[in-house]
Chain A
Amino acid sequence: GAVVSQHPSRVICKSGTSVKIECRSLDFQATTMFWYRQFPKQSLMLMATSNEGSKATYEQGVEKDKFLINHASLTLSTLTVTSAHPEDSSFYICSANSPGQGYGNQPQHFGDGTRLSIL
């Protein structure tokens, strides 16, 4: 089935560092990918919609200059957390929609997430 791969699975770095997270669709092309953030004991919150070949669409309250999204190909989207601070520590998850075939709409598939810890 459709698989979405995320890398790295865990990052620990110092405050002020920029961190890049990759999201790849392994066996399908994804014109749209989504980036979510999840704080402990909370649900997933959508941060932005990544569109191949165009600018990302950010949800209200998400700083586009801090969370840079690049969707340069049909199988790769990257999220860069610039000048990360401890409050950016969270679980970041991406998803992509596999192409629809036949009946109905196909579900989104999620990566395994990236746990970011800023010291």
Chain B
Amino acid sequence: DAKTTQPPSMDCAEGRAANLPCNHSTISGNEYVYWYRQIHSQGPQYIIHGLKNNETNEMASLIITEDRKSSTLILPHATLRDTAVYYCIVSPGGNEKLTFGTGTRLTIIP
């Protein structure tokens, strides 16, 4: 079973920031928080990951709470191409398998 819980769906207006929450209250000390997204009929695309510090890259920002029990993925200026299912996964990384939950279906509204 997935160790994360996410809202099943969210809408966001085009051009606004999309904030996707994830709860992972049973995360272990050696587990990272990974975010992927899957656009229809494609393989998952890596977005970002972090251990305990906030992270930012060209795609998104990841905010992890101090107790590491939850995190938020932020897409700063959402576009229509960001419409996808977003998955939050916790894993030790490396060659460990990833367990996908049901994710959040994000729809960007024009």
Residue numbers of A with Cβ under 8 A of B are 4, 6, 31-32, 34, 36, 43-46, 49, 91, 93, 95, 97, 100, 104-113, 115
Contacts and interface: CB of A to CB of B under 8 A. Distances in A.
B49 A111 contact: no
B34 A93 contact: no
A104 B41 CA distance: 30
B21 interface: no
B32 A113 contact: no
B62 to A, nearest CB: 12
Contact of A43 (B41, B49, B97, B102): B102
Given A105-B32, A108-B46, A43 B98 contact: no
A115 B41 contact: yes
Interface stretch (B12-20, B71-79, B88-96): B88-96
Given A104-B32, A104-B51, A112 B94 contact: no
10 A-B pairs with least C-beta separation: A105-B93, A110-B43, A32-B95, A44-B100, A107-B46, A43-B100, A110-B44, A113-B43, A112-B43, A93-B43
A50 to B, nearest CB: 11
A34 B97 contact: yes
A76 to B, nearest CB: 17
How many chain B residues sit at the interface, stated as a range, is 20 to 34
Contacts of A34: 97-98
B44 A93 contact: yes
A19 to B, nearest CB: 18
Interface centre among A95, A111, A115, by most B CB within 10 Å?
Answer: A95
A95 B94 CA distance: 12
B45 interface: yes
Given A104-B49, A107-B46, A111-B43, A43 B101 contact: yes
A44 B101 CA distance: 8
